[in-house]
Each structure stands twice: as C-alpha cells, then as structure tokens.
Amino acid sequence: MARAKFQTLTEQMFYALLCLKDECCGIDILDRIPAMTGQRVNIGSGTLYTLLEQFLEEGMIRETKVQGRRRSYILTDRGREMLEKEYERLCAQAEDYRRIFGEEGRR
C-alpha cells in the first residue's frame, strides 16, 4: 500500500524543512543539511528542487524572493506543523526503543 504524501517525512524532507526555519535559497539548503548533520545526510540538487516544488504545492513553504534563477523560501505554519508531527513520531519511536531495550540497547 502506498504511503500518503507527507504522512511521514524522509530524512531529506525533514532536514530541508528544518533549514527553512530561516529564509534561504536552494544552494543554502544544499550546504546546510550536511553541516547540521555532521555530513551524515546529503541531498542531491535534483531531489531538493523537486521537494521544494512539492512543498510549495502543499503550502508547507512559501517563496519569499526571486533574484534571477535564485529563489528563497521560508517555512509556513503548515510546514512547521509537519515538522512538529514528524519530530513527535521520531520521539515516540525512540521511546519505544528505550522501553524495549532500556539502557542496554545504547551503544
């Protein structure tokens, strides 16, 4: 069964939205994601620009500035709600893990 669009967020989606807490453009996001994750998460430009278009269509972000080909975006209230929902889901997963494995499950 296919998952509903944006029911859960991939890592790339989550971090792209997180970057947009403050206004920035695509190239900034491409730089910020690896920096904020210690190089653990990367995103390709094609993937990012596809996501930005989808986020715009869903009202999760809004365009703030256009300078030539450079477009800047910022998170909307809807986008913030999606981030919070995903954060709560991830926290619940972590809590389930701790409940099952306790401290012994930690490395």
Tell me: the pLDDT tens digits for 4-55?
A: 677 889 999 999 999 999 999 999 999 999 999 999 999 999 999 999 999 9
**Entry pTM:** 0.87
Give CA–CA dist 27/48, Å, rounded: 9
Helices (H) and strands (E) in the chain, counts: 4, 3
| 82: its two tokens | 């999606």
Pick the CATH number of 11-100 from 1.20.59.20, 3.40.720.10, 1.10.10.10, 2.120.10.80: 1.10.10.10
For 50-79, b where at least 16 C-beta lie within 10 A, e where not — what string?
ebbeebeeeebbbeeeeeeeeebbebbeeb
pLDDT at residue 74 in the model: 98
Domain ranges across the chain: 11-100
Q: Are 61 and 55 in contact (CB under 8 A)?
A: yes
pLDDT at residue 3 in the model: 47
Strands of 1-107, DSSP E: 24-25, 61-67, 70-75
